[in-house]
């Protein structure tokens, strides 16, 4: 072998550059070949659990404002879980969240979520909170499905599942809203989280 550490004294700089070049080459090749694999399976399970806890609490709230607050706090907690577990998984897999497939994933994921935020504010202002569970499930499903184009196959499949549940939520009585939220953000998220965790490294 050509152990770099055994080379003459002027060699380390060249070898150091070669090592840097190799690392860039490996990273670039992985990014070109890869799908975004840092979607956190166990994070999905954690997010699902928060939704299952939140659904009965939200259902008991006497006013739309408090109901909305419960789900917004849940979304915040779920977002922290998702972000933390994704960062950990990405670091373990040595993939970047801000370049290559990771960047494409987020650029596809964020616009539908932005739409959901704007429509949530508008619908709440017009007193149409009954439509929010369907809107959230559809928007999150669209975000997951489009971003899933750059990820493993289970991710876009989960997005389709969310969109189906969102459509169902809009077509059924408003009182079922929290049940649809539990089904989507709870059960579906946990189910796909387990699949991703088992098949795609956590």
Partner 1 sequence: MPRTQGRKKSRRESPVELDRVIHERVRLAIVSALAGADALSFNELKDLLGITDGNLSVHARRLEEAGFVTCEKSFVDRVPRTQYSLTAAGRAALDDYLNHMESLIRRVREG
Binding site for partner 1 (CB under 8 A): 1-5, 12-13, 15-16, 19-20, 22-23, 25-26, 29-35, 37, 94-95, 152, 200
For residue 165 the two structure tokens come to 């549940």
In sequence order, which ranges of 34-153 are alpha helices (DSSP H)? Answer: 41-59, 64-93, 100-125, 132-147
Q: Nearest approach, Cβ of 81 to partner 1 (angstroms)?
A: 25
For the bound state, the minimum distance from the C-beta of residue 146 to partner 1, rounded and expressed in Å, comes to 20
The CB-of-14 to partner 1 minimum distance in angstroms stands at 10
Minimum CB distance to partner 1, residue 167 (Å): 30
Nearest residue to 113 via CA among 84, 78, 154, 87: 78
How many helices (H) does the chain have, and how many strands (E)?
Answer: 8, 0
Task: Tell the residue number behind the tokens 């429509």, with chain if given.
Answer: 119
Q: Which is nearer to partner 1, 26 or 72 (CB)?
A: 26
Of 5 and 175, the one with the shorter C-beta distance to partner 1 is 5
Q: Which is nearer to partner 1, 26 or 118 (CB)?
A: 26
* Dmax (CA) of the chain: 78
């Amino acid at each position: 072998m050509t152990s770099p550490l055994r080379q003459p004294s002027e060699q380390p700089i060249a070898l150091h550059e070669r090592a840097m070049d190799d690392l860039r080459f490996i990273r670039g090749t992985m990014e070109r070949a890869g799908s975004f694999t840092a979607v956190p399976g166990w994070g999905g399970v954690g997010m699902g659990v928060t939704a299952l806890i939140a659904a009965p609490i939200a259902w008991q709230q006497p006013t739309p404002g408090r109901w909305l607050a419960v789900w917004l706090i849940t979304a915040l907690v779920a977002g922290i879980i998702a972000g933390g577990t994704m960062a950990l998984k990405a670091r373990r897999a040595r993939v970047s969240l801000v370049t290559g497939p990771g960047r494409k994933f987020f650029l596809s994921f964020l616009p539908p979520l932005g739409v959901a935020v704007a429509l949530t504010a508008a619908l709440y202002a017009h007193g149409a909170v009954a439509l929010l569970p369907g809107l959230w499930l559809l928007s999150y499903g669209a975000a997951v499905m489009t971003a899933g184009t750059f990820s493993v196959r289970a991710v876009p499949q989960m997005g389709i599942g969310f969109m189906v549940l969102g459509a169902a939520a809009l077509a059924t009585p408003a009182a079922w809203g929290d049940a649809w939220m539990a089904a989507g953000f709870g059960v579906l998220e946990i189910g796909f989280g387990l699949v991703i965790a088992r098949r795609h490294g956590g």
